[in-house]
Structure 1
Amino acid sequence: MLVPTYDERENLPLVVRRIRNSVPDADVLVLDDNSPDGTGEAADRLAAEDDHVHVLHRARKEGLGKAYLAGFAWGLERGYDALVEIDADGSHPPERLPVMLAAAADADVVIGSRWVRGGRIVNWPLHRKALSIGGNVYIKTLLGMPVNDATAGFRVYRADALRTIGLVGVDSYGYCFQADLTWRADRAGLRIVEVPITFVEREIGQSKMNPDIARESLRNISRWGWEYRRGQVRSIGERLVHRPKDH
């Protein structure tokens, strides 16, 4: 379980406890970006009390994507079969982990989805729901992906799937990171499954979402979509040029 943190001192012990109760055999890696509120120290205390909890202290805040890339590298080096992304703020329900891990037996990527039948969001204002739904519809339409919640941050990756995707060229470090890896997995022909979850807005602390993150996502996704659609047009043109003529 990869848990990125920045100023989550109060939330972290709560979510780690829920993870450990839901999947007692799993290991937890806290990825702390040098939180000024003492989250790193809180993580160290949890690790000292529980052999299943580990901490990776990072020098500075570099974005969600870089934290997860560091976590993937850590997990792959140690031979884990699957790596899980889960937020520290409690918005991702650890109680759904057994279902998601079971689904990973027949899938390469499992997404805890808000926008499939059975999925829902609690305590979000209407404008934020509209932004999430609109963004995911835009991604699905532009990139042609059969995924309803490409921006979801609660997911399971099989280790082999991460190796197939290839993480060297990933350059999305904000919330766009999730759509980036979904897009790479889809292009690689991997099997992506969505499992419904109830997403609950954080009760402690402040959301890390900001306009810069939204702009990065829009810019990158639009660029990928343009390249994808241009490639499709080029491919169709080449097939027409090389089509045998009727005699």
Structure 2
Amino acid sequence: MSRVVVIPTYNEADCLPEILRRTRAASPGTDILVVDDGSPDGTGDLADAAARADDAVRVLHRKEKTGLAGAYLDGFAWALDAGYDAVAQMDADGSHNPADLDRLFAALAGADLAIGSRYVPGGGVVNWPLHRLGLSRAASLYTRALLGVSTADVTAGFRAWRTEALRELSLGTVESVGYCFQIDLTWRALRNGMRVVELPIVFTERRVGRSKMTAPIALEAVRNVTRWGVDRRLGGLRRGKAARPAPQRHREV
């Protein structure tokens, strides 16, 4: 199975060399695509140097920062065009352990999407303050309740896909910009009847640099999930009304 991991970057010069080294050591059979959003700190130059030194590393330069979703969608398109069988998503800041990549790819033998989950038995989070952990847990619970999904870590960013599954998800219609992209694609996969599995991973908070999570990004996720949840509920009611026979029009649906 040919496979590649997509690593989006924006101002990750302090982290990128280390994550590339760790990834190549932990999963030598996995190619790497760095998708840089025109980082002013020289991240793109570091990625280019790594690509010149290692044929397994590729770089996709984007002219402007348009959000996590745009970076991943361009990375997915590149991987699909290149003919890979599987593509993984991984952060550049070291919060995801490259040693888990092979487990995620192996899980695709029986799944379309394999999620590295913080919230299944064996998973966990290291060095997060309680309020950050609480917000993450609350986001997952809110999403699961509104969208009716059972995935424990629906916001997880460490995951692997079969590329044939990605082709079926109408990626050109994705509207999410930030981290809501993870929820968006998970829900699309489930609605398309795809098999989603979760594997325990330990997420470690970044040691250097700044988190890319901002209030507007969080609000986007709340807004989109709420809208999708309302649409889901209204759609269910419409289908129920259409299916009800006239004599039982007061029957609960």
- Which of the five TM-score ranges fits, normalised by the shorter chain? over 0.9
Distance (Å, rounded) in 2 between the aligned partners of 1:216 and 1:53: 32
Which residue number corresponds to residue 199 of structure 1?
203
Which residue number corresponds to residue 60 of structure 2?
56
1:244, distance to aligned residue in structure 2 (A) = 9.2
Which residue number corresponds to residue 126 of structure 1?
130
TM-score scaled to structure 1, two decimals? 0.97
Map Cα deviations across residues 75-134 of structure 1 (whole Å, 9 max, x no partner): 000100011000000001111111111111110001101111111000000011110001
5+ unaligned residues in a row in structure 2: which ranges?
none
1:241, distance to aligned residue in structure 2 (A) = 2.9
- Is 1:180 the counterpart of 2:204? The answer is no
Aligned AA for 1:79? G
Distance (Å, rounded) in 2 between the aligned partners of 1:183 and 1:125: 28
Aligned AA for 1:118? G
Aligned AA for 2:191? R
Aligned AA for 1:62? T
Aligned AA for 1:26? T
Map Cα deviations across residues 170-205 of structure 1 (whole Å, 9 max, x no partner): 010100000000111111000000011000000010
- Is 1:223 the counterpart of 2:217? The answer is no
Which residue number corresponds to residue 8 of structure 1?
12
Distance (Å, rounded) in 2 between the aligned partners of 1:77 and 1:242: 52
Distance (Å, rounded) in 1 between the aligned partners of 2:23 and 2:184: 26
Cα distance, 1:242–1:103 mapped onto 2, change above 3 Å = farther
Distance (Å, rounded) in 2 between the aligned partners of 1:13 and 1:195: 27
Which residue number corresponds to residue 164 of structure 1?
168
Cα distance, 1:235–1:39 mapped onto 2, change above 3 Å = same
Aligned AA for 1:56? L
Which residue number corresponds to residue 208 of structure 1?
212
Aligned AA for 2:146? L
Aligned AA for 2:243? R
How do residues 9-28 of structure 1 correspond to structure 2 at under 5 angstroms?
Answer: 9-28=13-32
Distance (Å, rounded) in 1 between the aligned partners of 2:94 and 2:158: 11
Distance (Å, rounded) in 1 between the aligned partners of 2:149 and 2:239: 18
Distance (Å, rounded) in 2 between the aligned partners of 1:163 and 1:219: 26
Cα distance, 1:243–1:113 mapped onto 2, change above 3 Å = farther
Select which of 83, 96, 100 maps to 2:100: 96
1:16, distance to aligned residue in structure 2 (A) = 0.9
Aligned AA for 2:17? P
Aligned AA for 1:58? R
- Is 1:84 the counterpart of 2:84? The answer is no
Which residue number corresponds to residue 158 of structure 2?
154
5+ unaligned residues in a row in structure 1: which ranges?
none
**CA-based RMSD:** 1.3
Distance (Å, rounded) in 2 between the aligned partners of 1:104 and 1:146: 19
Number of matched residues? 245
Identity of aligned residues (%): 52
Distance (Å, rounded) in 1 between the aligned partners of 2:114 and 2:130: 27
Query: SS at the partner of 2:100?
Result: helix
TM-score scaled to structure 2, two decimals? 0.95
Distance (Å, rounded) in 2 between the aligned partners of 1:201 and 1:123: 6
Which residue number corresponds to residue 144 of structure 2?
140
Which residue number corresponds to residue 40 of structure 1?
44
1:242, distance to aligned residue in structure 2 (A) = 6.5
Distance (Å, rounded) in 1 between the aligned partners of 2:55 and 2:225: 40
